[in-house]
Amino acid sequence: MAVSKYFLAVLFVGVALAEPQWYNSRDGRRYLIDAEQKYNWLSAQQACSRRNLQLVEIKSAAKNEALVETLSSIFKRPINLWLGANDEFNPTQDPRRPFYWSSSGKRMDFTNWSEGSPANTNSNEHCVHICAKSQNYEWSDLACTEQIGLICEEQPQYNTHRQSLQEKGQKVVDITRKLFGSQQHEQKKSMEKLTRLIGQVVKKNNEIERYLEKIESNMAQSNDRTVELRNKELRSYVEAALKTVRELDQEMQDVAQQMYTKFSKDFNDVQKTIEYIMGNKNEQQDAAWK
């Protein structure tokens, strides 16, 4: 029983170690590197392809330096890893024979061959790999049937798509931030106006209360004729006061409605702009929020 548990534990660890890992390079690229499982060159290409990736193509010194830096941070020393190039099974042993990147089909211009490579030993070394025997992750040719690790990268169109999505996402964030920043400013102005109007309503209510107290006091000392005049004066005053209060109340409602209407319009404009950013063709909306 203990032996079985030990075997299962070892098997589990082996499976865990075999899982390829993503690594970020300092130049912004991402690489899926599998140094545990072993592949021939064709199966390595297929393993990348199944993930909508490709075997890495290194077409510049800058990309190579960034990748070497990444590999150096992962591994203590160079290891064998497939790259996405071959010589199209050229039988010659000429080190100047052309190599091609398999995914793009372009001839290899930039190279990072290790000393003595490419040698095409026994005329069967047609595929390119990072060589474990090199000093600094240089390349060599190798029989395509050899079983080694691999480096996958995102296909150019996926890189472009991801970058496009990031740019679109940032645009959406900027526009949304602008909308709510504008809304906060408008809301602050509206609240200040509402506060002022509420203050006027309170002030008018206080005036009415004081006036009513004054009328009540005067009526206690008045005759019928005076009371009639006071009542008429009171009705006139109350009607005017109520009219003022109603006007203030209506103004407060108008302010609230204007604030809601403006936000609704701005929100609708932003929604249309976001639709444009994500694929709609209404360019005027995008320009409105730039």
pLDDT tens across 141-151, in order?
999 999 999 99
pLDDT tens across 186-219, in order?
777 777 877 887 888 788 778 777 777 776 666 6
Please give the Cα distance from 43 to 5 (Å, whole number): 33
Q: Which residue has the higher pLDDT, 262 or 58?
A: 58
pLDDT-derived band of residue 182, with 50, 70 and 90 as boundaries?
confident
Q: What average pLDDT does the chain have?
A: 81
Alpha-helical (H) ranges within the chain are 2-18, 41-49, 61-74, 156-219, 224-277, 283-288
Please give the Cα distance from 26 to 287 (Å, whole number): 34
Nearest in space to 51 (alpha carbons), one of 149, 159, 152, 151: 152
pTM over 0.85: no
The reported pLDDT for the residue numbered 238 is 74
pLDDT tens across 92-107, in order?
888 889 999 999 999 9
